[in-house]
Amino acid sequence: MRKKAALWALCAAVALAGPAAARTTFISIGTGGTGGVYYPYGGGLAEIWSKYVPGVKAVAEVTGASVENVKLAHKGETVIGEVMGDVAYQAYRGIGKFQGKPQKILAMACMYPNVLQIVTLKGSGIKNVTDFKGKRVSIGAPGSGTAFMAELVLKTLGVPLDSFNVFRLSFNETANALRDGTIDAGFWVVAPGTSSIMDLATTHAIEIVGFTPEQQKKVEEAFDYYSAWTLEGGVYRGVDKPVPTLSVWNVIICQRDLPEDLVYQLTKTLFEHTDYLEQIHPFAKYTTPENAVGKSPIPFHPGAIRAIEEKGIKVPAKLRP
């Protein structure tokens, strides 16, 4: 409510400033917590759009991440959101956690693959998710894509939430809890290497919990939007060997009712300035029109379709609203 009130106040101030200022279009971007990649990536989007799209002033908002970003966009409290593909898929179709409540969202672009990283300290005895019984585990903040994926993956692998002590913490809170010994393991679904894990690894000996090939296959067969992934060694201090895990693509969503020309300008400008986003995080190299069409789990906004097809890439019928 505070964010919504702040946006109303901002719009009112612009309207009072005069006709010229009133033409400014304010774009609020739902990101995530400060310990992940969504927030700095969203800040980069805001800078690009504010600088290169005439009449646009964009701001990145700290949020609870994917699930909350969908709901904020649906209600109009934000107009752009960074969302994991699994959340976008269920939200658009009104299934799973959004059962019977399809959300008014469409895709603009695909960002990069998020990688599931389960972190523990050396000596915890946790080598696989099957070792969670009786342990204290953070599965991610309420409303986050991390918690969303953690619950689906654990259920698929036969690890019930009531078999361990569940904590629902943000990335920074999870890192601090591991540091303090309050929890035994924590989930991150984020582009590696993320600052909160990197900081933890500088002071504590960490391990990344891997999955067996059979577990990877079981999750892939259950959900089209999850894929096997190998986390390279050397990303985090002390984790020198590759770790087999899972991944899911991130999507930039927008409010379904946004004007076509506005979304066209935003999408076009995004693809023209991904080099700036790569300076923020190297995984932004995956933000391409080709990956947008190849990886989006939901249809595109008509404005985004215009921008993508201008690049000579055909958007298939299944990705048209």
pLDDT tens figures, 150-166: 999 999 999 999 999 99
* CA angle (112, 42, 72) in 5-degree steps: 100
DSSP 8-state assignment for residue 207: E
Segment 250-259, tens digit of pLDDT:
999 999 999 9
pLDDT reading at 111 higher than 80: yes
Domain finish residue from 248, 280, 299? 248
Overall domain count for the chain: 2
pLDDT value at residue 21: 47
Tell me the Ramachandran region of residue 238: left when phi exceeds 0, alpha when psi lies from -120 to 50, beta otherwise.
left
- Percentage, residues of the chain above pLDDT 70: 93
Q: Is 170 helix (H, G, I), strand (E, B) or coil?
A: coil
237 lies in the same domain as 259: no
Instruction: Answer for the pair 311, 272: CB distance below 8 angstroms, yes or no.
Output: no
Residue 267 pLDDT > 70? yes
Q: Are residues 179 and 292 in the same domain?
A: no
Give yes or no: residues 81 and 177 share one domain.
no
**Structural domain harbouring 311:** 2-113+251-319
- Whether 19 and 255 have beta carbons less than 8 Å apart is answered as no
Residues 39-95 have pLDDT tens digits of 999 999 999 999 999 999 999 999 988 999 999 999 999 899 999 999 999 999 999
Same domain, 119 and 243: yes
Between CA 115 and CA 245 the distance in angstroms is 7
- Identify the band that residue 143 occupies on the pLDDT scale cut at 50, 70 and 90: confident
This prediction's pTM: 0.83
Q: Residue 189's domain is classified under what CATH number?
A: 3.40.190.10
